[in-house]
Structure formats: structure tokens, C-alpha cells
Amino acid sequence: MTDFDSDPSPSGDFDVAPVRLTVDLAALSDNWREMQRRSGRVRTAAVVKADAYGLGIEDCGTAFYEAGARDFFVAVAQEGVTLRSYAPDARIYVLSGIWPGQEQMFFENDLVPVLASEEQLAFWMSVVSEHGDHPCALQVDTGFNRLGLSFEDALALAGDVSRPAGFSPVLVLSHLHSGDNPASPLNRQQLELFQQVSAAFEGIESSLSASAGIFLGPEYHFDLTRPGIALYGGESVGGMMPLKPVVKAEARVIQVRDAAAGGTVSYGATHQLSRESRLAIVSAGYADGYLRSLSGSGVPIRTGGSSGAFGFIAGHRVPVIGRVTMDLTIFDVTDVPASDIRTGDYIELFGPNMPLDDVARAAGTIGYELLTGLGLRYERRYIYPE
């Protein structure tokens, strides 16, 4: 059960922090188990790139490992080095591959480079010729036009009997570009191409599906699934309810002030008050990843008709008014009883009462960006499984 209030005695720093995060590692572990269940009989990895989507690779990696994950994906080698201490016997794949000068780092930390270009492949061939066998993975492009060997080059490599004996890929993978739209016919096109790649690399495990692909069904699962955003409580498929919420972001109320009807609010005077109002000034802004596009007004960069974000305090949804600034945001708390809110209280920016993706949509973006853009000023509290 997710419980963001299970620790009634947080640290002193947490209790007075200007901005703070509560990360429910029990919910995180439950979400991994749920994605494992949905993956059926195949293994389920955990994607912990970008500092575990902004929530902390050390604590999140430990939670996934203790839940049973033994395959992990990171973006860059240094993330893999950090993770190794917390997942001692796991297989850690580095999605950006390997560069000259990183050989020792990969060998000493038993990291698996994901080779995604002819240049990386040629370099890796020379590395294993000199240093001996070490596992690698191959990424194949099936329509994303991002990273990966071309479909034709991958098939040619599979049939190349002259490749070095020490070249021993343990995984072939690709990535769906429209998995979040189950109705897209392009998912089937990518699947059929990848089925050919998988068959060509007979005896080597295959992986196609991240979070969204898992929901497309068993055909897309192959040998290993790679959930990411779903583990952290974000939406992976449009219109589908996410799994358990994992993170709550809060900001402290610095001041509650009265403001007269007709007055203006924040930079540019883009919001004019239509009534006698009470305003809560809170200590979070775009330097904390609370995006400027969440402003209640005055941000032409936002499209789609959103009126801006809301926060949650004392049982009420309260709107952002005026522009979000670097360190401060202003909420209209006129409809919250005066006795229910005071200086020093905390307002929920996103969390169990303000769903991550609802807030992201208000900014014209996605939950991934809010999580990975969290600033350095957040004091963190982790709720561990019992």
C-alpha cells in the first residue's frame, strides 16, 4: 500500500526544507512486480537512467534489486559504475555504448555496452580481439531513426562468419517509437522487422518493449522487457491509468498575503485579480524543475489551451496565478479557509493528489520531463518497504 505519510517523524532538514520529495520505494517495488507480472514468463529489467528518472539511482536501484530485478539499463557508463555497488551481481546495460578510453571502466565494473553504430561495433571488435571476451548487446533500428544498426547491417552481421570469436552479444534490442499509441499500425511494422532480426541472431536473447510495449501483449515481450516510466508512477500509454504513485513533490509556503481586487500578480502583470484574494507564495520555481510553462498566464510558449497548473493544500486544488519565476510560484488560496493554511505549510506540486501527468499536461509536456528535471534543492525522504 502506498503511504506518503507513513513516517511521522521526518528528519529536521526535511521538516523545514524549502522544497522536498517523498519517494515511496515500496510503491516503486510494487510497480516493478506488476510490470513483471504483465511481462508473463519473460524476465523484467529496470531502467534507471537519468538518476532513476530523477528519484535517485542508489535508493531506487537498491529497491529494484531487492524486489528481484537482475537486469538494469542505464544511459551512460558512470551511471552503471554507481549502480554496481547497489546491484552487485546484476547485468547492467549501458545504452549509449562505449567510447575509446572507457574500456577499463567497463571491464572493472562488468558493464555491458549496447553497440548502436558501425563505428562502435568496429571499436568493440578491436577491444575484444585485444582483451578477450566480454559481453555486449546490439541495438537495431527498426524505424525510430535514433540509435541502432540498420536492419540490413544487422542481418549481415548475423550471418558474418568472420567476426571475432570473442565477439559474443548477449542481447539484441530495438525500441518502439509509437508504443504509447496501441492503435498505431507502426507498432506491428516494427514488431515484424524485429522478429526477423531476432530469428537471425538465433540463440541470443532479444528485447523490444519498454513500458508501453509491455501493454501491447506477449508478442512484443521476447526474452526481456525494459520498463521505465511505469515503474516511477508515470503514464506509459495515453489514456491508461498509471501504476502506483511513487513520488510527492512539495514546496513550503513562505507567505500568505491579502491582495486587492484589480491588483496584478507576478512578472509582466499578466494576471489581474477579479476579487479580493489571498495568495500563497511558495518556495519553488523553474530552478526546481517546476516549469515556467506551468504558469497561470503570460507564457505564449505553452499551447493546447491549458490554463496552467494547480497545487494541492488543505484538501483543496488551488491554481497557479501569474508567471512561475526562478525560485517562487504564487497560488490563489482564496477558497481555502483561512484557518487551514499558514506560513510554513507545504503545498503538493505533484503526487498522490496532483497526478504527475496531469501537471505535465498543464505544462504542455510529459511526466518524464518533470521527473528528470527535478532540481538539486529538493530534500529527499525515502519510504522503504517494511
Catalytic residues: 49, 267
Cα(342)–Cα(93) distance, integer angstroms: 48
Cα(107)–Cα(115) distance, integer angstroms: 15
DSSP 299: -
β-pairing, 91-94 with 271-272?
unpaired
Q: What is the dihedral of CA 365, 76, 30, 70, to 10 degrees?
A: 160
383 beta partners:
24
Give Cα separations from 142 to 73, 98, 319, 352, 380 (angstroms).
20, 21, 43, 37, 40
Report how many helices (DSSP H) and strands (DSSP E) the chain contains, helices first. 12, 19
Q: How many Å separate Cα 40 from the centre of its chain?
A: 23
Residues in the chain: 386
135 beta partners:
168
Q: In the numeric block, which cell numbers belong to residue 159?
A: 550471418
Q: In the block, which residue shows the cell 512561475?
A: 324
Provide the 10 A C-beta neighbour count for residue 337.
10
**Known binder of ligand: residue 240?**
no
Q: Closest by alpha carbon to 52, among 26, 70, 72, 77? A: 72
Q: Which residues, 6+ apart, have CB-to-CB distance to 5 below 8 Å?
A: none
The answer to whether 25 and 384 are in contact (CB under 8 A) is yes
**Known binder of ligand: residue 326?**
yes
Cα(131)–Cα(376) distance, integer angstroms: 40
Q: Closest by alpha carbon to 125, among 79, 83, 95, 157? A: 157
DSSP 297: S
Binding-site sequence positions:
146, 326
Binding-site sequence positions for substrate:
146, 326
